[in-house]
Structure 1
């Protein structure tokens, strides 16, 4: 590509120089010839004036020496050579001069001009002046040489400019090729540099955007794997425990255990479908009002049963004045499942779920009677909290799901631990990007 760009620049310069330089060179030559003819004609006229009396009287003509390389010859009215140098009547320019005109032409390597010798407006002879063409060609050749040097300089400058432009144009394109190759090989972190050429930069920006989208998609798929693993571990463990418990008494009726296990399998399938839909943004845009009472009513039996196995309870408190949130049931179900699982696994005592109204939002508080959370929120919600002591499991997923619904998940109180899920109120007509006010620990009811 660089060679083609340089070649295009050089050939463009050569074409422009040719279209302009060749006519200019011809014009220079013609101008030099015209100037030399004028000088030669002026010299011939001077001689004609000087010898007019001698020609008229028939006296000998002497002293025809001219400066430089100019030579002159004098002829009578019949074209007979009288003095100086030159041919006879057969020359066309002499015949023209004898009829009162000015003859001009070339004779071999000489430039020739002939003028009439007159007396009282009568032509009585002619003067023929010659000079070598070399007197014209030498200065013209110098001018042509200077023009050729300038043309060569212009071509060289075009080559340098073309080389620079080729490098400027080719480097971003070569970077694009390398970036596209790396992207094709699976390196989604590749980014192209801005080259200062809008058209190429727009292609690079599109490639960067594609790489970023692919990188996000890959990270999302990896996160999905981790999220699914975490979210499915507890239901699978519960299903296994239920089946193992059903096998303990040999004579126990397995029908009830099978029915309960099928219900667990249905919930497990629902969890998988919701996680896949949430991971691929397949939920409907513009989620409508969510009936929290119905959702908590669906979820509470499972968690009451799990907590009862440990001698603990689940307390639901829904404020009658709390509006419905504008959110996806699948997302809220998964967030609450994470919070309830953490409270069940890492907390102590009764697990409480309270729904209340906040400013332009609906707040859902999930708390327990454990010893509290000590990790910084930046670590806690990044999924790196100490899983042996705290509530770090799945909170990164829960926060992402909450933010995707236009809400927020935060740690409202450390001891006892209280996590608050804030969701847009369906009656507040909040935009998806409008921030929801935070809830401090002292605001809890």
Structure 2
């Protein structure tokens, strides 16, 4: 923007200066020419005034003196054909002036100023003064150079002033852009300062109003999530009481464990919603995945599913909280159990990531799925489509990613990478 304003100012100033300085330059040339002609006319008239009182010999001496003092070559044409001073041929203008008319004529190399005078003793005498091109344009070039320097100085001054004004505007706009980037990065407390031109101040106030509105909406959404999650505690409590009332202690223990997992998930949702800027936690991916595999292996055994495991024996720290990673693994396993027939085998492989962290790959021998499963709420099947979206958001929150594809022998492949925790 600064460059654009500088170019506009330079173009505008140039046009104004051209409109002013070109006529002024032409006027300077005309004034210089008129001045030279006037000085030559004065010299010719001074000689003409002495024609009637001097003899030809005295007149010749006067011509030499005037030529030496004035600097212009003088010639006096006498009626008898003699020429005093600088010898030049009689031109048509000289013959015209001999008829009694004083004229100024253009000749090669300059102008000739002709003054006609009637002498009682000599008759019609013509005094000629020659003004060369150098005399006509004396000082013009220097004046033009001065005007050019003045024009360039004014253009530079205009560009500097435009740049200062543009800097005021662009600085305010850059500050607004920085605030918008901070808001986009989750720093909802960022606000723009109302500085700069009136229009920029108006935009800053509008941006601050928008940021406040976003903050209010997020606060309302968090409260809604907390309220909804808190309402789930009542049916969870009833479900726990029903589980404890079961006569089969093993079944009661199994249902109670699942109720505990559900209650932990609800508690995690409430805590996450209440935190304005949640602190990123970390966990050992190996222990979490092993724990969830142990949990789902019971259901896999009931459905006669073969579970192929490739799990490391060493810890793999990742930048994800343990409950969030557990929810991610549960979402991936839940998709396998929900969208493949019973008896279909699946595999779980966990290993270190290419740049640290961990890589979790879940494969199955089911019908597979397309890329539309990645769209939240659009699974392409009889589901909400949120399972893969939960896994994707968990991976991206740690700096990782999620990708889906087809297995070589058929079925689906889901690979989730998790970034390493930040160095202390």
The alignment's TM-score, normalised by the length of structure 1, stands at 0.48
Secondary structure, counterpart of 2:52 in structure 1? helix
Secondary structure, counterpart of 2:60 in structure 1? coil
Name the structure 2 match of 1:236. 235
CA distance in 1, matches of 2:101, 2:182: 85
CA distance in 2, matches of 1:174, 1:240: 57
CA distance in 1, matches of 2:208, 2:70: 78
1:74, CA displacement in angstroms?
Answer: 0.5
Secondary structure, counterpart of 2:62 in structure 1? coil
Change beyond 3 A, Cα 1:77–1:213: farther
- Contact 1:116/1:123 (8 A) holds in 2: no
Change beyond 3 A, Cα 1:68–1:115: closer
CA distance in 2, matches of 1:105, 1:241: 123
1:51-200 mapped onto 2 (5 Å cutoff): 51-54=51-54, 61-64=60-63, 65-66=65-66, 67-77=69-79, 80-92=81-93, 94-119=94-119, 124-200=124-200
CA distance in 2, matches of 1:153, 1:90: 48
**Alpha carbon RMSD of aligned pairs, Å?**
3.1
Change beyond 3 A, Cα 1:49–1:164: same
Secondary structure, counterpart of 1:112 in structure 2? strand
CA distance in 1, matches of 2:215, 2:144: 64
1:53, CA displacement in angstroms?
Answer: 4.1
CA distance in 1, matches of 2:96, 2:28: 28
- Contact 2:119/2:125 (8 A) holds in 1: no
Change beyond 3 A, Cα 1:70–1:172: same
CA distance in 1, matches of 2:70, 2:113: 16
1:8, CA displacement in angstroms?
Answer: 1.2
1:125, CA displacement in angstroms?
Answer: 1.7
Name the structure 2 match of 1:222. 222
Give the paired residue count: 244
CA distance in 2, matches of 1:202, 1:39: 67
Secondary structure, counterpart of 2:49 in structure 1? helix
Secondary structure, counterpart of 1:138 in structure 2? coil
Change beyond 3 A, Cα 1:125–1:216: same
1:126, CA displacement in angstroms?
Answer: 0.7
1:167, CA displacement in angstroms?
Answer: 1.4
- Name stretches of at least 5 consecutive residues in structure 2 with no aligned partner: 249-424
1:237, CA displacement in angstroms?
Answer: 5.7
Secondary structure, counterpart of 1:74 in structure 2? strand
1:266-305 mapped onto 2 (5 Å cutoff): none
- Contact 1:109/1:133 (8 A) holds in 2: yes
Change beyond 3 A, Cα 1:60–1:169: closer
CA distance in 1, matches of 2:11, 2:145: 21
Name the structure 2 match of 1:208. 208
- Name stretches of at least 5 consecutive residues in structure 1 with no aligned partner: 251-445
Secondary structure, counterpart of 2:74 in structure 1? strand
CA distance in 2, matches of 1:237, 1:159: 73
1:86, CA displacement in angstroms?
Answer: 4.6
CA distance in 2, matches of 1:222, 1:15: 61
Change beyond 3 A, Cα 1:24–1:123: farther
Change beyond 3 A, Cα 1:105–1:164: farther
Change beyond 3 A, Cα 1:230–1:15: same
The alignment's TM-score, normalised by the length of structure 2, stands at 0.51
